[in-house]
Structure 1
């Protein structure tokens, strides 16, 4: 039977004087092995990842594990309470690592999370998800391609990291990490997230069973992000339900002027072979810079690694 314990790291002060709790759940098996961390809820508008990690806790409690799994299902409580990507102090948590023990609450959360993960974990998965109006399907890589591919289920995007993301800071400090984005729109289930997390544990030798999902995943460097440059109604020929599909050449969408009905901006795909990695629901009002679509063009297919093939770690 796996041993389960939990603790909280207090952060800052709420208006009533109580701290914001950063809650961790630790699942430890009797068999020795590494420690893998899973976190979710860095953005407040992506609760599917939060629910997925709570489900993963229940799943792992009964599985024959080796080593330890550390989970933090709901990192950014202030942003989750507001339901917004940007935290109430006007900062984006996953652009603030490694954080600071003082100052903005977002920086304090970043500091506490980073310090706890680096103390306990030798690999970390930062689980993200889509929203009710936006579907996502890819994994960001941070220099350990085998780890990113091991998550499976999703295409892997390389060479697109921000230096102050959690995974980027962890990787620079010697803790391999990846950032899967899954679900959203009509994809309301945690299935892909759970399957990917279990695959990482298989790759790390903490579960003794074959990795699941497609035998290979596309690896992508060339991204085409579609952002409207004008206010109006976004209309797409593809939508959230098409994420993961190959994008045909031709018109992908456009923006219509609400006053005149004129099509004022058009988005055309000229290159074949792209995969739809992100799509927003439409018709919807958009402003300049809104996320509309993202297309990735693979340069290789990479097979899933074998169970227990991760490099040994302390």
Structure 2
């Protein structure tokens, strides 16, 4: 008999985004679901972007000694699955198998005793959210309205909630705080609809489209041209952005124990899959250890950002970067969904066959290399490339004079972010080079 595996998502991946914008029913509605060497660092290349400005990352400083890179897991599916007999037959397991599946080392006659000694999961309580109650073992589509629209034309924002059958932490997922960031919407949707409340410990609350007006207009900003991610935790009497931020924070975010705020990039830049996290905060640093195949870039964050406001309120929070704006990118979406799956496994919210793999790097030191001349940028390196000090990363060409100006790496490192080829002006941040943290000897 095969061990439990990640369930197929074919049905729900085919659902259009417009379903998320329909009338949000406050009544309950079922959401059908379709270490090996810890010091080795082998990042995986994917094209993802950042929400935070260049200056915010450059100004982040690390205090004290860096922590070790996170232990990262890989979800086992398909041919990698093994039968229960293979896992329990003496002599059929490698040392890596035994490390990944310690229960299989226990003799059959002792297994029942061990299982009886484990604490029994506690039953969940109803989830009170946005004026509705989500019972244990159920899911619902709720409605959040910040109260800033014309009442007769008001359109509530859908909020998806899954309350597990067992007690556990509350994980919140937010997407499209910037309305042109499409990948985060799809990451939240797939993650939520892949959950079975009968197998979940804790709650998952997802707001796929926070900035609904911006999403409908294909704009990063709110109708008043403000960046919503600079106004948290907000104010009930402030600007339009302040009021929306306050409503979301008080009505949804304060329900969270953990928050993953999902973004894509702006200004035509793309990044390696990564988390932005304040690694000076021990709880946040530990939290990053649950994300599979995600490099971590130390960023303290700035006042007004959702993750900064959440951490200040005692909620463990990170920013997850996932692709370019205005695009749906399947590879980046899959990376985001996988990392959230591993996070829930790490937090004890789900129990799926999961094999822990090699850690990803923590980039405490990073440097944006800027163009010194205006013109058209042509890159010579790919995202994720390892580069050496002095290596040519690309060049800027003057389309009139034919002058060409090389852009060189300032240090050894890896390209964790870069601008797509485009017209640039002098001072434009073109390449983001990360240097892996040096782990103190134990």
- Give TM-score scaled by structure 2 length: 0.61
- Within the alignment, does 1:251 sit opposite 2:392 as a pair? yes
Q: State the partner residue of 1:307.
A: none
Deviations 1:15-63 (A, max 9, x none): 6842352321110111111111111111222201111111112111477
Matches within 5 A, 1:117-136: 117-130=252-265, 134-136=269-271
Deviations 1:240-292 (A, max 9, x none): xx3333234411122222221212x53211311x122212322x222455453
**Shift in CA distance, 136/188, structure 1 to aligned 2, threshold 3 Å:** farther
Larger strand proportion, structure 1 or 2? 1
| Counterpart residue number, 1:139 | 275
Aligned to 2:169: 34
**Larger helix percent:** 2
The residue that corresponds to 2:418 in the other structure is 279
CA distance in 2, matches of 1:117, 1:31: 21
Higher mean C-alpha displacement, 86-95 vs 128-137: 128-137
SS of aligned partner of 2:233? coil
Report the CA distance shift for 1:164/1:103 in structure 2 as closer, same or farther (over 3 A): closer
Which residue among 135, 140, 148 is the counterpart of 2:288?
148
Q: Partner residue of 2:330? A: 188
Post-superposition CA distance 1:143-192 (Å, at most 9, x none): 21121231131211124411221111111111000111123489533111
TM-score, normalized by length of structure 1? 0.84
RMSD: 2.7
Does 2:434 correspond to 1:299?
no
1:101-145: per-residue Cα shift (whole Å, max 9, x none)? 244332222112211334311111111235795432211113211
3-state SS of the aligned residue for 1:216?
Answer: coil
CA separation in 2, counterparts of 1:246 and 1:186? Answer: 27
Deviations 1:210-259 (A, max 9, x none): 65674201111211123435542111112xxx333323441112222222
Measured at CA, do residues 102 and 150 of structure 1 come closer, stay the same or move farther in structure 2, by a change above 3 Å?
Answer: same
CA distance in 1, matches of 2:428, 2:178: 17
1 or 2 for the larger relative contact order (CA 8 Å, sep ≥6)?
2
Structure 1 runs of 4+ aligned residues shifted over 6 Å read none
Unpaired segments of 5 or more residues in structure 2? 1-135
Other-structure match for 2:401: 260
